[in-house]
Structure 1
Amino acid sequence: MWYLYGFAMLAGLANAIQPGPNSTLAKASSQPFFAGLVVVVVSGAALLVTGLVSGCLSVPSYEQATQIPWWAWCGGILGTVLTLSQLFIAPKLGAAPCLGTLVTVGVLASIVLDHYGWVGFEVHHATIGRVLGGVLMVAGVALVALF
């Protein structure tokens, strides 16, 4: 199970670095939406190659696809919001305040999602420790943004 934390740490590092190249591409090309499309195409190509090389890529059958909840198909739209924030907001706020806000709001929202078991998550109750951790993250982001 420890390797999952390692992969999450790698993803967190990628999340911190990604706005830099994405916003640089947007600025250098003078086309933020072009940069966003490049991000999506390169991500899709990377997923395709990784899926093919690992042998883990398959398409669900029609029957399987019809059993998937409608909201499960919306992740790409949410990814677009993330990409647009990297292109438009990160360059203005800076990497630390932007990512700190993104991660903190994500954790606060995740506490609620876990507590109620919404959008496919297992129930993990919002204990006082989890809520306090979220509050401390808000304080931490405030310090990063102010200084």
Structure 2
Amino acid sequence: MWYLYLAVLAAGVANAIQPGQNGTLARNLSQPLTAGLVVGIGTLITVLVAGLVTGRLAWPSAVEAARVPWWAWFGGVLGGGIVVAQLLIARQIGAGAFLGLLVTAGVATSILLDHFGWAGFDVHPASRWRLLGGALMVAGVGLVALF
């Protein structure tokens, strides 16, 4: 199970590097949002290759598709919004502030999602320790953004 944590750490490193890569791509193309299409194609290829290599890729049946809540189909839209923010905002505010705000918003939202069991998550109550951890992240991001 430890390897799952390593995979998430690697994704976190990639999450810190990606805004710089995407911003550089956007700056060097005639239209910055064209970079978003390049990123989307890269994402498509990555998911396709991973699915083919692992054998975990199949088009859903009509029954499977009908079982999925309507809101679950829009995760790609949220991911696209993150990429657009990377392309248009990250460079101006800097990597530390951008990632800090992104992670802090993610942690605060995740505490709510876990507490109420929203968006398909199991319920994990917002204990005082979880809330304290979220508050410390907000304070840390404030320090990174100010200095």
Range into which the TM-score falls when normalised by the shorter chain = over 0.9
Task: Determine the C-alpha separation between the residues in 1 that align with 2:21 and 2:31.
Answer: 14
1:26 is matched with 26
1:39-64 CA-partner distances (Å, limit 9, x unpaired):
00111011111111221111110111
Task: Determine the C-alpha separation between the residues in 1 that align with 2:6 and 2:81.
Answer: 26
CA RMSD of aligned residues (A): 0.7
1:45 is matched with 45
Task: Determine the C-alpha separation between the residues in 1 that align with 2:17 and 2:48.
Answer: 22
| Structure 2 unpaired stretches of 5+ | none
Aligned structure 1 segments of 4 or more residues deviating by more than 6 angstroms: none
Aligned-pair identity (%): 58
| Structure 1 unpaired stretches of 5+ | none
How far the C-alpha of 1:30 sits from its partner, in A, is 2.7
How far the C-alpha of 1:138 sits from its partner, in A, is 0.4
Matched residue SS, 2:84: helix
| Aligned residue identity for 1:65 | A
User: Structure 2 length as normaliser, TM-score?
Assistant: 0.98
1:83 counterpart = 2:83: yes
Matched residue SS, 1:89: helix
- Aligned residues between the structures: 147
How far the C-alpha of 1:3 sits from its partner, in A, is 1.6
How far the C-alpha of 1:118 sits from its partner, in A, is 0.2
Aligned positions of 1:62-141 closer than 5 A? 62-141=62-141
Task: Determine the C-alpha separation between the residues in 2 that align with 1:4 and 1:111.
Answer: 21
User: Structure 1 length as normaliser, TM-score?
Assistant: 0.98
Task: Determine the C-alpha separation between the residues in 2 that align with 1:139 and 1:3.
Answer: 30
